Amino acid sequence: MKVLAALSGGVDSAVAAARAVDAGHEVVGVHMALSRSRAQHRNGSRGCCSIEDASDARRAADVLGIPYYVWDLSEEFEDTVVADFLSEYEAGRTPNPCVRCNEHIKFAALLDRGLALGFDAVATGHYARIVDGEHGRELHRAVDSAKDQSYVLAVMGRERLERSLFPLGDVESKDVVRAEAAARGLSVSAKPDSYDICFVADGDTRGFLAARLGERPGEIVDSSGAVVGTHQGAYGFTVGQRRGLGITTPASDGAPRYVVATDPAANRVVVGPAALLSVDEITGGDVVWLAEPGPFQDVTVQVRAHGEPVAATVEVDGGTLVARLATPLRGIAAGQSIVVYRGTRVLGQASITSAARAGAVGAVR
């Protein structure tokens, strides 16, 4: 097969490309330039789009003996991933930009462009497995549960799954990948993992939002409506948050308070005790299926990239998914993804629209 290998400049993508070469594929490496921000491109950037990453990707391609190109996808990245990030926070939701990047960039802009150029598939360094099942290809968790990325890949859909390769899905640990990179003479073998949001170069998400959306002073209130503090923008808070609230009036019982809701229309943040964060019913929209749609009885759901799976029943009504949890979860915010699993297999995912305690009045949003 003709395979387009996404080279981020890290050790995972380099080893994934090397394994694609070993498998006998005709491999071409491509690095996605996702930002034109000077801050993001300086040495020491915290994300995965810095200028040194492009250089590391080129060196990896040279060692592997494969052609290498840089594709400028910065406009697509700004118009989809960054724009979604800003609009979701502005609307009082909490997005996962890695999910949107996989949806719009790595498995839309990159794969679709590759297919138009005659490539058969895209290979990436994601930790997930593709299994040939009775009814087609299936997405499964990686062998290394600590590195598993099936949660952020669930949004890709069936058609793109058919055109994807994840050569690292069966490795036992990141140490194995680093050792293999060193043995192959890849200079990125000891390169630290990227972290935080790649387009927020200094890791200050609230500062990034304020710079893009502007300061919007408002009130922080408790569940009774009493004002207990002020803020510079409701968009800077998310359900479950405890730190950085700026509350000036302590709770009568002295217990810590958390963000339990945000009201973007009124520019108000609502805080309350931890008990108000506990939910056992989650509703989601924009459902993407990698299996035949539910309902499902014997499944688990996951609501964070590295969260623990929770047993649940899942019902589907048109384009809406409703998951009823066997064990309540805390701090579920609208905009996060909920991914449905049976064992290690990904069945589908949805974007959370609301979460509530069954029988309770109202929902956490």
Active-site residue 49, yes or no? Answer: no
- Dihedral angle sign, alpha carbons of residues 279, 284, 288, 289: positive
- Partner residues linked to 259 by β-bridges: 271
What radius of gyration, in Å, describes the C-alpha atoms of the chain?
A: 22
64: Cα separation from own chain's centroid? 29
7: Cα separation from own chain's centroid? 19
By residue count, the chain amounts to 365
360/364 Cα distance (integer angstroms):
10
Strands 68-72 and 345-356: unpaired
Active-site residue 101, yes or no? Answer: yes
> Do 271 and 222 meet the contact criterion of CB atoms below 8 Å apart?
yes
Percentages (nearest 5) of helix, strand, coil residues in the chain: 30, 30, 40
> Do 329 and 310 meet the contact criterion of CB atoms below 8 Å apart?
yes
For residue 254, the tally of other CB atoms under 10 A from its CB is: 6
- Give me the phi and psi of 151, to 5 degrees please: -60, -45
> Do 336 and 353 meet the contact criterion of CB atoms below 8 Å apart?
no
328/10 Cα distance (integer angstroms):
37
- Annotated catalytic residue within 48, 49, 98, 198: 198
Going along 158-309, which residue ranges are E strands?
A: 164-165, 218-222, 227-231, 258-263, 268-272, 278-289, 296-302
Q: Which residues are catalytic?
A: 101, 198
